Structure 1
């Protein structure tokens, strides 16, 4: 299966201005190269069959005929494969000359799209030669074919409903209302831009921003093919700046002044999932004409990079900015809640683990925003059966370094008495044994908050909520959950970010917490070491966060998520391991929804949350049958 991926290419062939035969040969070479790479669609630069810089030669009958002959040659070349090629040429229609894009496949001209916006300022003088392209579509006769001509053209695969593209040309993108807006609203998931954008200082950065932002606004893929070396240098130079962007992300880009070809896998399923979830992305039933094409399935290896940690930026500088932004949002949310409730204290259960450490660091920021002393925070350590000396010591030292009020309340006697009241054998370390500790801790925090006129700050993270890895009415509950939309893989980096910027002793404590295995510490320690490691029980958080992102953000199927995970984690996990934990993820996602249906408030800081009041509204008793059926087939 292709899972919605389609390989697409943009290229800048070498050109000789005015030599249409040469340009056709170079274009044919790029077509062959793209076809061998498995591309379903190839986009080439504006007026590539003549060269963009022909000047008044465009008005010469000889050049116009040369371009037509070159187009005919490329039609013949296109008959050798299913690949679609979009090329640029001047074309006379009804006594007017138009700057056109021709869409070719299997020896046919599927359509001709004329440029609408003609730059006639600074170094550009296109209105001297060309007429603005009409929007309405009509049929014309060209090279023995009846061809649709006009701006409102869509090209759609008859086999892949998601594969629909449209065309705009260079300046069309740079105007206030680009045609690609209407194209996308009419159903185009891909915009092809044939361009001849010359280079000036700073223009490449702006061009990149323009392409990526347009792909983001329209939730589309944007294929930008730029004229390059070989164009006339009389007044301009051309850099061949080719760009492939998808929904705001630049997937591939060529260096300036190096004519070449880019190939990228476009995830059409992801684009349509994004559009589907956006109620402000209205369908437009306009006057567009759709031209259908057929392509045989192309099976090629995925050449697209799949991020292993979709919640965590790879670039360190970007990651640092992201961490600062998230910590600020968490703290601002808590600040508002403390103000609105009028609470005098913030109460945090501190275990010596990552989640409670992050919650405490956020609480310190919130108190500082309120210009109140750190002593207004009451951090409570509640050791019991599974608490190790390491986590107990780290909890106390962390609170001392942060200057918050600290209390250690051993709950062993209280839990032992509770188990005795239940008639539960204390030597049986089952779910009752574990949850009794978690609920005793929450009860203690709630009562302490009443005693100190305080607010209990929740510590649980997004990954735990997805898996239901929390005790109902235990650590599942708080008065404000600051980590509720922060996944486990990101919690680590947030604490690490603070550690890197802390004084020596605080940094040392945070680094030891960062290196401590993730554990609820509800089972007795073995030889003083943590006996209960969360990832041994529910699976690696790296995988679960990967699953979470693709399930909630895009609604991908289990089969596609498995495919993506195998690509992203090829060197770490075998297929059987990925499927095993994917089963666990789905099973827990469905079975544990009842815990998410009654979550406390908490700030949304990323694109994904599981708040029952916001992004995720799921019946607690929904059936997993369809998803299980697909999982069983993996």
Structure 2
């Protein structure tokens, strides 16, 4: 039987994956794990479908890409035999002929557990029902003496209905002590408040602390703002990571009479016009960089819109590009 832990350190790797760059994304996992190890962390967490990059769209339907993601995960799993931190990382995963949006738990040189996304979004920019199979509801994962629930993104977002299972309730009933939620949640004005209210509702229902890890970066027309956070069971903010930039932050949780609690760093987060501008800058930078373009060409009329576009381009790429 695993000994009960009284301290638990989680490294949040709020990073910028590139869709299709399996090797590059795996390299980012290794770098994050090295930081986590230096911090003495038990676990390092990466965002939804990180190995593939998010959203991978039809790329995940290609068998060669599925195999590349699996091979990268298996290699990362073998590397955890060194006694360092365990890893929770998102990846597409084929099981019994079905393709899932999965989060794999890597520890002691092996794939120790796999959790599948149950509630697949099918609205707005999301069409996951088209490419992924619905996973089964599962209980928590035992990580270094702590039972960690791993609902994936949409599994925390909507109330229970005929279409949606209450995954958080299932995890609470099966003994979860902390909820760790990997996300690929794109930016929109006011989105941070919506995420917080959704998470507050899940903490209130379950009585469990919650770690919300979001990716950062631009992908086509979407921008992911990061702005990851954690809530204690009493709804106080345990930590807040910055928005629109990569961040690797280790949170140290302690078991108290009422459960797990953390007092981590709280960064200030941009909102309204400043956040919109930061999203434009990040989106342009990644669109140019991830597509390998040398720079951009601007036709400037002298109007306010041209001036704004020029300012965004300079802030994103530098004046020389």
TM-score after normalising by structure 1: 0.39
What's the secondary structure of 1:225's corresponding residue?
A: strand
**Is residue 238 of structure 2 the alignment partner of residue 251 of structure 1?**
yes
Which residue among 67, 83, 86 is the counterpart of 1:84? 86
Which residue among 234, 239, 259 is the counterpart of 1:272? 259
- Cα separation, 2, equivalents of 1:261 and 1:184: 28
Pick closer, same or farther for the CA change 1:195–1:265 going to 2, 3 Å: same
Match of 2:292 in 1: none
Match of 1:403 in 2: none
Match of 1:8 in 2: 10
- Cα separation, 1, equivalents of 2:255 and 2:186: 31
- Cα separation, 1, equivalents of 2:222 and 2:99: 23
Contact conserved, 2:49 with 2:89, CA < 8 A, in 1?
yes
Match of 2:52 in 1: 50
Contact conserved, 1:189 with 1:271, CA < 8 A, in 2?
no
Give CA-to-partner distance per residue, 1:99-137, whole Å, 9 cap, x none.
Answer: 0000111111111111000001111111111011023xx
> How far has the Cα of 1:26 moved from its partner?
0.5
> How far has the Cα of 1:82 moved from its partner?
4.3
> How far has the Cα of 1:235 moved from its partner?
2.4
- Cα separation, 1, equivalents of 2:9 and 2:125: 35
Residues 377-416 of structure 1 mapped to structure 2, 5 A cutoff: none
What's the secondary structure of 1:200's corresponding residue?
A: coil
> How far has the Cα of 1:208 moved from its partner?
2.0
**Is residue 210 of structure 2 the alignment partner of residue 222 of structure 1?**
yes
Which of the pair has the greater relative contact order for Cα pairs under 8 Å at 6+ separation? Answer: 2
What's the secondary structure of 2:70's corresponding residue?
A: helix
**Is residue 236 of structure 2 the alignment partner of residue 237 of structure 1?**
no
Match of 2:131 in 1: 129
Contact conserved, 1:13 with 1:27, CA < 8 A, in 2?
no
Residues 485-500 of structure 1 mapped to structure 2, 5 A cutoff: none
**Is residue 156 of structure 2 the alignment partner of residue 173 of structure 1?**
yes
Pick closer, same or farther for the CA change 1:273–1:65 going to 2, 3 Å: closer
Contact conserved, 1:43 with 1:223, CA < 8 A, in 2?
no
Match of 2:120 in 1: 118
Residues 140-539 of structure 1 mapped to structure 2, 5 A cutoff: 152-156=138-142, 160=145, 163-177=146-160, 178-229=166-217, 231-232=218-219, 234-247=220-233, 248-272=235-259, 304=263
Structure (1 or 2) with the greater strand fraction: 2
**Is residue 61 of structure 2 the alignment partner of residue 59 of structure 1?**
yes
- Cα separation, 2, equivalents of 1:269 and 1:98: 36
- Cα separation, 1, equivalents of 2:242 and 2:143: 32
> How far has the Cα of 1:207 moved from its partner?
0.7
Contact conserved, 2:11 with 2:45, CA < 8 A, in 1?
yes
- Cα separation, 1, equivalents of 2:143 and 2:122: 36
- Cα separation, 2, equivalents of 1:237 and 1:105: 32
Match of 1:479 in 2: none
> How far has the Cα of 1:54 moved from its partner?
1.7
- Cα separation, 1, equivalents of 2:33 and 2:143: 19
> How far has the Cα of 1:155 moved from its partner?
2.2
> How far has the Cα of 1:227 moved from its partner?
1.6
What's the secondary structure of 2:186's corresponding residue?
A: coil
Match of 1:94 in 2: 96
> How far has the Cα of 1:37 moved from its partner?
1.0
Root mean square deviation of aligned Cα? 2.3
Comparing 68-77 with 24-33, greater Cα deviation is found at 68-77
Match of 1:423 in 2: none
Pick closer, same or farther for the CA change 1:29–1:157 going to 2, 3 Å: closer
What's the secondary structure of 1:23's corresponding residue?
A: helix
- Is there any run of 5+ residues in structure 2 with no aligned partner, and where? 161-165, 265-321
Match of 2:273 in 1: none
Pick closer, same or farther for the CA change 1:269–1:200 going to 2, 3 Å: same
Contact conserved, 1:193 with 1:225, CA < 8 A, in 2?
yes
Contact conserved, 1:193 with 1:224, CA < 8 A, in 2?
yes
What's the secondary structure of 2:104's corresponding residue?
A: strand
Pick closer, same or farther for the CA change 1:117–1:35 going to 2, 3 Å: same
Pick closer, same or farther for the CA change 1:3–1:67 going to 2, 3 Å: closer
What's the secondary structure of 1:192's corresponding residue?
A: strand
Contact conserved, 1:242 with 1:262, CA < 8 A, in 2?
no
Structure (1 or 2) with the greater helix fraction: 1
Pick closer, same or farther for the CA change 1:253–1:59 going to 2, 3 Å: same
> How far has the Cα of 1:73 moved from its partner?
2.1
Contact conserved, 2:117 with 2:155, CA < 8 A, in 1?
yes
Match of 2:306 in 1: none
- Cα separation, 2, equivalents of 1:212 and 1:271: 17
Give CA-to-partner distance per residue, 1:446-496, whole Å, 9 cap, x none.
Answer: xxxxxxxxxxxxxxxxxxxxxxxxxxxxxxxxxxxxxxxxxxxxxxxxxxx
Match of 2:35 in 1: 33
Give CA-to-partner distance per residue, 1:43-90, whole Å, 9 cap, x none.
Answer: 210000011122111101121111011102211222222422110000
Contact conserved, 1:193 with 1:222, CA < 8 A, in 2?
yes
Q: How many residues align?
A: 256
